[in-house]
Structure 1
Amino acid sequence: MGKLFIILGILFIIIGFIWTFIGKLPGDITFKKGNFTFYFPIVTSIIVSIIFSLLFFIFGRFFR
């Protein structure tokens, strides 16, 4: 269990660095009007969901 948390922590650090440098992806919704900004990262959410689904699938296969 400890190894899993270490691996997940390293993955979160890598994802954080990538997210910082890439920023907003095409397809993310941004709405600005005066003082108000609404940002909904739909494409980013889908990509992160696919990556986590694949990772959990792979970890599930190896740690059974």
Structure 2
Amino acid sequence: MPEFGGLGKALVIAGLSLVLCGFLFVFFSKIPFLGKLPGDIHIARKNFTFYFPFASCVVLSVLVSLIIWLWSKR
């Protein structure tokens, strides 16, 4: 019977990542300006709605990059 230790660790990490993403979605939904920044694209037509939070993605990317950079400096 082959070892499944590596697969088990990968599944635990994937599960914890999903839980963390869920908490982040709940937390970020409470921030009123996120998703409504200038630069966020919102197109609404009669039978079609397209929304792409471009500026919000840029802001989040800069924040995450800053946190990772600060974390790696320790």
TM-score by length of 2: 0.57
RMSD value over aligned CA atoms?
A: 2.4
Question: Alignment partner of 1:39: what SS?
Answer: strand
TM-score by length of 1: 0.64
Where structure 1 has 5 or more consecutive residues not aligned to the other structure, the ranges are none
Between the two proteins, the alignment pairs up a number of residues equal to: 54
Point out the structure with the larger strand share.
1
Q: Which stretches of structure 1, 4 residues or longer, exceed 4 Å deviation after superposition?
A: none
Who wins on radius of gyration, i.e. which is larger?
A: 2
Point out the structure with the larger helix share.
1
Question: Alignment partner of 1:47: what SS?
Answer: helix
Where structure 2 has 5 or more consecutive residues not aligned to the other structure, the ranges are 1-12
